[in-house]
Homo-oligomer: A and B are copies of this chain.
Amino acid sequence: MDEQTYTTRAPAQPNQSLQYGTECLLQLVSAGRPIGSREMARELKREHTHVNRLLGTLAYLGLAERTSDRKYIVGPGIHVLSAMSLRGSHLLTSALPRIRTLIEKTGMIVALGVLWRRQVCYLYHGGPEKSMEAAIVGSDLYPAERSSIGMIMLAQRTKEYVKSLYQEQEKDMGGEINVNALLQQLLEVRTQGYGLNDNTSLAVAIGSPPMAALAVATDMITKEEIPLLVKQLHETADGILVDMKNLQK
């Protein structure tokens, strides 16, 4: 399995345990339910003992917890990790005021998400009738190729990366994806500069390369609406970036 890496230049001596350990951690978090070590090993296509050992260490660190029926769930340390990483990220705190403004301007649902493997993970997902506290952290991971957020983020990835990502686990991840069709779509998305999904949601990237993406969603986005919405999305995304920079001083 090809692990997600960000720089094409590996350090002199990459630490494999750290790499595979964080992989296990994110897989555990994504499971959202108790998961056994062999099941996870099958999902990650890794030797069982290896995964069992890493899960054991995560439990030792408090990031995982063993259940009475010998499975693993996230542990108390996840709260520390989420608090610290949220504080280090600055993304949600920078985005929230601007999301509020965007919701008021458009009257639409607004979503802020990040891409993890082939899934979009929402930091925010809600519209005008939803309170902010209820909109923070959408519930389920969502398939990237069916999401405007996912598509705009995948579009900034290399063809090789996308191929690799989608040619593995095709059966496991809920249906087979025609990779060539996907790549064609991604080219279109890249050209347009926004992702459009089913004429119901429209996304632009935050940052370049994108660290996240911002979308509006409603029942039907008409062709005529797109340019203004894209402009508004870009302004909001750019504002988020500026605020993040300011928070980092």
Contacts and interface: CB of A to CB of B under 8 A. Distances in A.
A59 B114 contact: no
A62 interface: yes
Total copies of the chain: 2
B211 A123 contact: no
A218 interface: no
B87 A85 contact: no
B76 A211 contact: yes
Contacts of A137: 83, 86-87, 92-93
A133 interface: yes
A132 interface: yes
A166 interface: no
A99 B130 CA distance: 17
A157 to B, nearest CB: 12
B19 A56 contact: no
B83 A78 contact: no
Nearest to A120: B83
A57 B121 contact: no
B29 A61 contact: no
A80 interface: yes
Contacts of A53: 11-13, 15
Interface string A153-177: 0000000000000000000000000
Nearest to A123: B83
Nearest to A21: B18
Contacts of A86: 82, 85-86, 92, 123, 137
Contacts of A54: 15, 18
A81 interface: yes
A32 interface: yes
Interface in A34-64: 53-54, 56-63
Given A13-B56, A22-B22, 5 more contacts: A6-B60, A6-B77, A7-B60, A83-B122, A92-B136
16 contacts: A6-B60, A6-B62, A6-B76, A13-B56, A18-B58, A19-B60, A22-B22, A26-B80, A26-B84, A76-B207, A76-B211, A78-B89, A82-B91, A86-B137, A87-B122, A97-B133
